[in-house]
Amino acid sequence: MDRGAVSQPDAEPNESTGGAASVQGHPGALDFDRAPLVLTWEITRACALECVHCRAEACPDRDPRELTTEEAKRVIDRVAAFEPRPPYLVFSGGDPLERPDLVDLIEYAAEVGVETAVTPASSPLLTRTALERLQAAGTSRIALSLDGATAEAHDGFRGEPGSFATILQAARDARDLGLPLQINSTVTRDTAGDFPAMADLVEELGVVMWEVFFLVPMGRGALLEPLDAPETEAFLEWLYERQRRASYRVITVEAPQYRRIAHRAERARGNRGVRVGSTGDGKGFLFVSHLGEVFPSGFLPLSAGNVRERDIVEIYGESPLFRGLRDPDRIKGKCGLCEYRSICGGARARAWAVTGDPFEADPFCHYVPRRYQRLVDGGDLPAPEEYFAALGRRLPVLPG
């Protein structure tokens, strides 16, 4: 999904405006109120695998309520109607290869001017022939999941023996075919230590993008342990330094503080800023389920409508949920007072998963904004750990 980097902050964010002036004034900025950059579509939950961290809680059989081929094509028509240009359409799952009409949908999207990518599972369906068919249909990229630098680490995490070998073979096949490859990896307490070796392996595979997901406690992933806030900060600092010398681009999912870290690192070097992924839940990104429900992301399952009943362009542009997620004034707690609010804004899905409120502060962000700290020092606000403890749900270790 090589569309994540769209804004490049030119200066240190203005504390009084939360950084809005510096970001929105950049000539390369896109208006996410009008159209998303990426639309991920879970076209089926069917999958032969049972990965331990699966957000979708995939199952062996297709749901008879899935959108039909004709319904799917009508949705693609509306995706093409976004202005000033259609979003990048990612066919996901489950395993999208379980849909027998996948090639037909890719071809149709190409006909109406919608660029596509596919995220196949490491199942027996992932063959060189399958990749050749996807490429011939017109997809511009495949994204494969890799969660360890060795078979022991990857297969152990996913609970699927042989998955590592399947991924490596598919990656080599994609390279031989000239099909651009993206790798997706999930950060948990169990996988974090393997990331330096994974970064080297990703380099060897010749990928164009490494998309690094930070665990949101939902689906089967609720059984796994995420990094705490200080560990997440340290990991992101390492990841950015690794990105600076990599041949591929890095974007993060549900870790928007990566943009703050990148911005500060470049400012410390005397530079004006860098391009790193700038979309967020409902802000430049949306997710469609196998049943047609429209969510701000796959990790924030709050529906704003169904494509069988409402126009997806209208849902994204006008629904109160999406409009609220794009409004920095709706954000609460220390995220709402942060000088990096418009650059980052906090992970809305993680705020919801942990606190039950998508507009709450992100409890996995280690940074304490200057304005918030002054109010704490003055006795007007509780310290962050006290603030989150008062919310009373599952919480990580917090700064303090």
What would the pLDDT profile of 93-139 be if each residue is shown by its tens digit?
A: 999 999 999 999 999 999 999 999 999 999 999 999 999 999 999 99
Across the range 322-329, mean pLDDT stands at 96
Residues 6+ apart with CB under 8 A from 376: 368, 382, 383, 384
Distance from chain centroid for Cα 290: 18
Query: Of the candidates 297, 294, 318, which has an alpha carbon nearest to the alpha carbon of residue 308?
Result: 294
Taking 80 as the threshold, does the pLDDT of residue 196 lie above it?
Answer: yes
Apex CA 139: angle with CA 51 and CA 102, to 5°? 60
Calculate Rg over the CA atoms of the chain.
20
Q: For residue 272, what pLDDT band results from cuts at 50, 70 and 90?
A: confident
Query: Of the candidates 338, 351, 366, which has an alpha carbon nearest to the alpha carbon of residue 230?
Result: 366
Query: Of the candidates 48, 68, 252, which has an alpha carbon nearest to the alpha carbon of residue 159?
Result: 48
Taking 80 as the threshold, does the pLDDT of residue 188 lie above it?
Answer: yes
CB atoms within 10 A of CB 112: 14
Residue of higher predicted confidence among 191 and 220: 191
Mean pLDDT (the chain, rounded): 88
| Per-residue confidence (pLDDT) for residue 243, from 0 to 100 | 93
Amino acid found at 194: D
Question: How far is the CA of 374 from the CAs of 139, 333, 360, 379, 388, in angstroms?
Answer: 51, 13, 20, 9, 18
Q: For residue 251, what pLDDT band results from cuts at 50, 70 and 90?
A: very high
| 14-51 exposure pattern, b = at least 16 Cβ within 10 A, e = fewer | eeeebbbebbeebeeebebeebbbbbbbbbbbbbbbeb
| Per-residue confidence (pLDDT) for residue 26, from 0 to 100 | 34
Q: For residue 389, what pLDDT band results from cuts at 50, 70 and 90?
A: confident
| Per-residue confidence (pLDDT) for residue 399, from 0 to 100 | 40
Does domain 31-227+279-326 match CATH 3.20.20.70? yes
Q: For residue 151, what pLDDT band results from cuts at 50, 70 and 90?
A: very high
Taking 80 as the threshold, does the pLDDT of residue 24 lie above it?
Answer: no
Using an 8 Å Cβ cutoff, are 390 and 380 in contact?
A: no
| Per-residue confidence (pLDDT) for residue 393, from 0 to 100 | 57
Query: Of the candidates 266, 342, 349, 233, which has an alpha carbon nearest to the alpha carbon of residue 301?
Result: 349
| Tokens 């942060």, located at residue | 338
| Per-residue confidence (pLDDT) for residue 50, from 0 to 100 | 64
Taking 70 as the threshold, does the pLDDT of residue 45 lie above it?
Answer: yes
Tokens of 318: 């006008």
Across the range 357-366, mean pLDDT stands at 94
- Note the pLDDT tens digit of each residue in 292-315: 999 999 999 999 999 999 999 999
CB atoms within 10 A of CB 393: 13
Q: For residue 391, what pLDDT band results from cuts at 50, 70 and 90?
A: confident
Distance CA(361)–CA(86), nearest Å, equals 31
Distance CA(71)–CA(68), nearest Å, equals 5
Q: What percent of the chain has pLDDT over 70?
A: 85
| Per-residue confidence (pLDDT) for residue 301, from 0 to 100 | 93
Q: For residue 367, what pLDDT band results from cuts at 50, 70 and 90?
A: very high
Q: What percent of the chain has pLDDT over 90?
A: 75
Distance CA(124)–CA(22), nearest Å, equals 48
Distance CA(169)–CA(163), nearest Å, equals 10
Across the range 14-21, mean pLDDT stands at 38
Q: For residue 59, what pLDDT band results from cuts at 50, 70 and 90?
A: confident
| Per-residue confidence (pLDDT) for residue 199, from 0 to 100 | 97
Across the range 375-384, mean pLDDT stands at 95
Q: For residue 155, what pLDDT band results from cuts at 50, 70 and 90?
A: very high
